[in-house]
Amino acid sequence: MLLTKEKPWFMLLFICTLVACAGKNENNNAVNMIEQEEFYKSEPFTSNGEFTSGIEGPAVDKEGNVYVVNFGEAGTIGKVTPDGEASLFVTLPEGSTGNGIRFNSQGEMLIADYTGHNVLKVDMQSREVSVYAHHDGLNQPNDLAIMDNDILFASDPNWGESTGQIWRVGLDGQFVLLETDMGTTNGIEVSPDNKTLYVNESVQLSVWAYDLDEEGNISNKRLIHTFDDFGMDGMRTDVKGNLFITRHGKGTIVKLSPDGELLREFAVSGKKPSNIAFGGTDGKMAYVTLQDNGNIDRFRSENAGRAFGQ
């Protein structure tokens, strides 16, 4: 009779133990899911062929929309929602063709216009396009980098002669030549602390770093990495200062430390990645434009992109 009276107490203890274990397992599973999140696995984000073979850019706004040049035809800017729906955002003035895109601290879009020798500015509300800076001495402004104080830099390759230059655009909208007699300058980026400017040379397969001051002056040029094969195109830094560089022709992205040490290399779904940008709700989603497919890949990164924290 004593066992019969105590049986409900033992059953209650048993049930409570099961519930506690189940809760613990759920918590452990949640932790394991976070720990097991797969980084650097690139996969298609948009359908093939929505953009031309001149697909470039990209840049991500505060709402997570991705902006990329040459949607359907040259001289346009396409907008891709976080769900991957692409549409025409704006058509550039006649004679202008976009390449690299950046956003300034005011949320205005800045576009390297390589056929017009301009940097264009787009008002995101009215979609009005204006000339932010122009200089006849440029070969073709290719990619852009921007400091937190909105000082801008443009790479300026001469593909025919395998040479290049670096320009600065101040807050007055004036181009200033910083460096000439370089190789084919292409990807360009600023470190998270705004104290280093990185520039790569596509044909020479070299990555250079410069000290950078608050006024956008460069000094102490140094070679931090050289590749043995294939080309390079656009690049971005994450909040830790690591460089992500597109390997055009090889179909990979490389991750370099701030000092140029090769940390990782991984494949994308096309052979001709042209540029990269970070976005997503936490800044850890990276978008890669692919010229052979006319589409965009994406992958998760361990750290947010530098631009996400601006």
For domain 51-309, the CATH architecture is 6 Propeller (2.120)
**Structure tokens, 28:** 């452990």
**Structure tokens, 26:** 């759920």
Alpha-carbon distance 212 to 189, whole Å?
11
Alpha-carbon distance 250 to 291, whole Å?
12
Per-residue pLDDT of the chain (310 residues; tens, 9 = 90+): 333 334 444 444 444 444 444 454 544 444 444 446 799 999 999 988 899 999 999 999 999 999 999 999 999 999 999 999 999 999 999 999 999 999 999 999 999 999 999 999 999 999 999 999 999 999 999 999 999 999 999 999 999 999 999 999 999 999 999 999 999 999 999 999 999 999 999 999 999 999 999 999 999 999 999 999 999 999 999 999 999 999 999 999 999 999 999 999 999 999 999 999 999 999 999 999 999 989 999 999 999 999 875 5
In three-state secondary structure terms, 166 is strand
Sequence-separated (6 or more) residues with CB below 8 Å from residue 214: 149, 194
In three-state secondary structure terms, 287 is strand
Running DSSP on this structure, what letter comes out for residue 238?
B
In this structure, the number of other CB atoms found within 10 A of the CB of residue 172 comes to: 7
